[in-house]
């Protein structure tokens, strides 16, 4: 995902964010160390509707478990851990894609060491889509991977509408680019402790904790512009393409996004993630 500059970030969260001065000061001092990564997606939700009885709280057992996992972790550590585990989970779906090794992580050494040794079993994914519905907005919206970028202004969906036979190759190409982008950000976090996307995550947290942020498509799309929330949508969508049915709830990445959901108090977002499974 292309790093947003501070002007874009400030525009997204301008309303009600007058208390973000400390983070803005940090962003003014921060200079991105990588600027050549193309944007991964222009994905947004237009056709999903929340139910009238959308859950406002997670089950008590889940809340307790997640609070124990994330207890004492700063937002920065939680962001890094979530991103690292999402990267590992996506790799498990596509083990043949090139892996960019991360050899050291001075800023998050303990989290890196703890998770580096965790082996996530590889999974079989069948990337089959109904080519007759590729022009149906509601159908394609259910597959966030179709909105991954291949070129600066072209998505997987743009390409396969022109040539449906290239579905598998184009999705693998886009996912390879996505994994390289995530890996590049992880390396930057390891070496410098921060990234543009981390500041977006931190600013979103500040915005949500000081403003009303209930279930709506507008607020869901704000979440999906944040790296770890979009990545979870991608993971859930790819997971349903497995050869054997398996609940994403058992994946370590899902446990970690629950930590983020609980901290951001956006339990209503679980309804959307469930719809992608």
* pLDDT over 80 (residue 50): yes
Give the pLDDT confidence score for residue 252 in this predicted structure: 59
pLDDT at 209: 92
Q: How far apart are CA 179 and CA 173, in angstroms?
A: 10
pLDDT: which is higher, 165 or 54: 165
Mean pLDDT over the full length of the chain: 78
Is residue 98 pLDDT above 90, yes or no? no
Tell me the three state secondary structure of residue 220: helix
* Mean pLDDT computed over 23-49: 56
Q: What is the pLDDT of residue 256?
A: 74
Lookup: tokens for 192: 């410098």
Binning pLDDT at 50, 70 and 90, where does residue 19 land? very low
Higher per-residue confidence, 38 vs 68: 68
d(Cα 51, Cα 188) in Å, to the nearest integer? 39
Distance CA 214, CA 192 (A): 34
Looking up tokens 């590729």, which residue turns up? 134
pLDDT, tens digit, for every residue of 105-148? 999 988 888 887 666 666 667 778 899 999 999 999 999 999 99
Share above pLDDT 70 across residues of the chain, in percent, rounded to a whole number: 69
Contacting residues for 270 by C-beta, under 8 A, at least 6 apart: 55, 58, 261
Looking at per-residue confidence, does 6 or 203 come out higher?
203
pTM: 0.78
Per-residue confidence (pLDDT) for residue 39, from 0 to 100: 41
The percentage of residues in the chain with a pLDDT greater than 90, rounded to a whole number, is 47
pLDDT at site 37? 36
Ranges assigned E (strand) in the chain: 149-151, 154-155
- Is the CB of residue 170 less than 8 Å from the CB of residue 150? yes
Which of 90-94, 150-154, 245-249 has the weakest average pLDDT?
245-249
Rounded mean pLDDT of 229-252? Answer: 72
pLDDT at 3 over 80: no
């Amino acid at each position: 995902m292309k790093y947003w500059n501070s002007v874009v970030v400030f525009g997204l969260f301008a309303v009600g964010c007058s208390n973000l001065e400390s983070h803005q000061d940090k962003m003014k001092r921060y200079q991105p160390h990588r600027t050549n990564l193309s944007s991964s997606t222009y994905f947004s939700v237009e056709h999903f509707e929340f139910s009238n009885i959308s859950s406002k709280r997670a089950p008590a057992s889940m809340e307790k478990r997640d609070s124990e996992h994330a207890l004492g972790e700063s937002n920065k550590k939680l962001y890094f851990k979530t991103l690292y585990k999402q990267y590992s989970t996506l790799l498990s779906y596509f083990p043949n894609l090139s892996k960019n090794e991360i050899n050291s992580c001075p800023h998050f050494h303990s989290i890196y060491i703890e998770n580096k040794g965790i082996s996530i079993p590889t999974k079989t994914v069948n990337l089959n889509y109904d080519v007759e519905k590729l022009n149906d907005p509601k159908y394609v919206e259910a597959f966030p991977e179709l909105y991954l970028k291949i070129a600066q202004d072209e998505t997987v969906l743009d390409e396969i509408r022109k040539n449906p036979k290239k579905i598998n190759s184009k999705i693998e190409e886009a996912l390879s680019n996505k994994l390289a982008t995530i890996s590049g950000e992880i390396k930057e976090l390891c070496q410098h402790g921060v990234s543009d996307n981390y500041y977006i995550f931190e600013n979103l947290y500040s915005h949500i904790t000081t403003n009303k942020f209930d279930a709506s498509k507008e607020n869901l799309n704000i979440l999906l512009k944040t790296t770890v929330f979009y990545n979870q949508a991608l993971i859930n969508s790819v997971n349903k393409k497995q050869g054997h049915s398996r609940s994403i709830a058992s994946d370590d990445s899902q446990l970690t996004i629950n930590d983020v959901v609980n901290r951001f108090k956006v339990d209503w977002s679980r309804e959307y993630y469930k719809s992608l499974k």
